[in-house]
């Protein structure tokens, strides 16, 4: 009998570098307690869909625009998640705020990676390069990334893992973004996914 793995769905909007980090971790065995079964993009042009195809992972497109309302959009995502028996949802550069009813439905089953050390430079309006621009404007010497559970408050859920990254003299937001991805996000996102998947399986076994 093959050992049960937690089924993972990754929600994406863009290039999918964090998705690639998860795929690479799965291939190398660092992500062993879970398996990526599904990738959902809210943008049909997302390069992440090509990464999913290359890894032979089903990729689906569900857009807010085509859905007509947030409620219908989220219901379509839920139907897809249920069709693939999803245990864990990973937001990997997913540029859409999910409603309180959605996050409540999947309590402690949604994780997100944010490119700062929460509680710094987080919450509404802090995403992508804006986070790194704010960190440089403040003059911090250390930044990093955080993986946290998702609740109804943007970047407000319980922290799972954090990793610090040095800010260097002359950094631009783009240079800092790359360093934070390479030295923190791509390391702690797969590690946190493994930790949460292992806990999901462990609870099932005990239950």
Strands (E), 19-85: 34-41, 59-61
Q: Which residue has the tokens 């430079």?
A: 121
Digit-coded pLDDT (tens) for 61-70: 999 999 999 9
Under the banding of pLDDT at 50, 70 and 90, the label for residue 1 is very low
pTM assigned to the model: 0.95
3-state DSSP assignment of residue 60 = strand
Please give the pLDDT value at position 48.
97
pLDDT tens digits along 18-52: 999 999 999 999 999 999 999 999 999 999 999 99
| Active-site residue identified among 37, 51, 109, 114 | 114
Residue ranges of domains in the chain: 6-206
Distance CA 202, CA 196 (A): 10
pLDDT digits (tens, 9 = 90+) for 124-166: 889 999 999 999 999 999 999 999 999 999 899 999 999 999 9
Which residues have CB under 8 Å from 150's CB, separation 6+? Answer: 89, 91, 98, 103, 110, 111, 112, 157
Known catalytic residue at 114: yes
Is domain 6-206 in CATH 3.90.1150.10, yes or no?
no
Compute CA distances 105 → 18, 59, 82, 110, whole Å. 24, 23, 12, 10
């Amino acid at each position: 009998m093959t050992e049960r793995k937690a089924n993972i769905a990754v929600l994406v909007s863009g290039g999918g570098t964090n998705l690639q980090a998860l795929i690479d971790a799965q291939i190398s065995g660092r992500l062993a307690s879970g398996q990526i079964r599904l990738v959902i993009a809210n943008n049909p042009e997302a390069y992440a869909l090509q990464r999913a195809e290359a890894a032979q992972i089903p990729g689906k497109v569900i857009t807010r625009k085509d859905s007509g309302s947030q409620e219908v959009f989220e219901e379509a995502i839920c139907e897809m998640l249920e069709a693939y028996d999803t245990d864990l949802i990973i937001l990997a550069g997913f540029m859409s705020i999910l409603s309180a009813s959605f996050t409540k439905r999947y309590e402690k089953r949604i994780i997100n990676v944010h490119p700062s050390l929460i509680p710094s430079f987080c919450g509404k309006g802090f995403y992508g390069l804006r986070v790194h621009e704010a960190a440089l404007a403040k003059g911090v010497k250390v930044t990093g990334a955080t993986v946290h559970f998702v609740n109804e408050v943007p970047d407000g859920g319980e922290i799972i893992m954090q990793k610090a990254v040095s800010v260097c003299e002359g950094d631009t937001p783009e240079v800092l973004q790359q360093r934070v991805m390479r030295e923190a996000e791509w390391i702690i996102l797969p590690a946190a996914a493994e930790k949460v998947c292992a806990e999901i399986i462990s609870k099932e076994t005990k239950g």
